[in-house]
Amino acid sequence: MVLAGAIQISLEWPVRASIIILVLGAIGLALLIVQLISDTRNAASGKSSEALTMEAPAVKTDSRWGNLEIWSWIAAFFAAIHLVGFLVAAPLFVFSYTKTYGGGWLLSAALGATAGGFVYSLFNVLLHVPWPKPLIVLLIS
């Protein structure tokens, strides 16, 4: 669908802008049809289409919530960056994660401080990044 949609959109463009999309998109659509036929035939015969992969397989977690647990942490970190800014969110995230999964107070605090120190020294001292105001500051002001 993505390929077909991209081709549809690019048809309205001049050749200079659409040539690569049209050429590769057509090949891609043909390949998709091949893949669909292959999947359908394998499904009908009950065979798995998986051969030996050259990439390590994804880990299937034993946790009750599966990968949702780590995804929640990532989403929370993402939200925290918006809410309180990088400088606070990074050490807070490292500290909370380490402490939750078994790290001691000292280790968690040390790792949190390392993360905070790294962000501060890189962005504030070295790169002088003009931070966008965090959401919480905007709300208060």
Partner 1 sequence: MLEAAIEGLQSILTPHSLAMMSLGVFIGSLVGFLPGIGGPTTLAIMLPFVMVMKDPVTVIALLVGIDAVGNTASAFPSILISVPGGAGSQATILDGYPMAKRGEAARALSASFMASLVGGIVGPLILLASLPILRPLVLAFGSPEFFVLTLWGLAMVGVLSGNAPVKGLIAGILGVFIATVGLDMKSGIERFAFGEPYLWEGISLILVALGIFGVPECIDLASRKSSIAERHELGSGFKQGILDVFRNLWLTVRSSAIGIWVGFLPGLGSSVADWFAYAHTIQTEKNTENFGKGDVRGVIAPEASNNAKEAGSYIPTLAFGIPGGTSTALILVAFTAVGINPGPEMLTTQLNFTFAIIWTLAIANIIAVAFCMAFVKPIARCCFLPFYTIVPLILVFVFIGAFAANFNYYDLLLLMVFSALGFIMRRHGWPRAPLLLGVVLGTKMELYLWLSYTRYGLEWLLRPGVVILFILLLASVLYPVWQGRRGGVSRVAEAV
* Residues in 63-82 at the binding interface with partner 1, rule: CB under 8 A: 63, 66-67, 69-71, 73-75, 77-78, 81-82
Closest to 95 (Cα-Cα) out of 79, 117, 122: 117
- The binder of partner 1 chosen from 1, 46, 64, 102 (CB under 8 A): 102
Q: Which of the residues 15 through 44 are near partner 1 (CB under 8 A)?
A: 15-17, 19-21, 23-25, 27-28, 31-32, 34-35, 38
11: contact with partner 1 by CB under 8 A: no
- Give the CA count within 13 Å in the CB-facing half-sphere of 137: 10
Q: Which is nearer to partner 1, 38 or 40 (CB)?
A: 38
13 binds partner 1 (CB under 8 A): yes
Min separation Cβ 31 and partner 1, Å: 5
User: Does 120 interact with partner 1 (rule: CB under 8 A)?
Assistant: no
Task: Show the 3-state SS of 87-141.
Answer: HHHHHHHHHHHHHHCCCCHHHHHHHHHHHHHHHHHHHHHHCCCCCCCCHHHHHHC
The nearest distance, CB 132 to partner 1, in angstroms, is 6
b or e along 2-31 (b: 16 or more beta carbons within 10 Å of the residue's beta carbon)?
ebeebbeebeeeeeeebeebeeebeebeee
**59 forms part of the interface with partner 1 (CB under 8 A):** yes
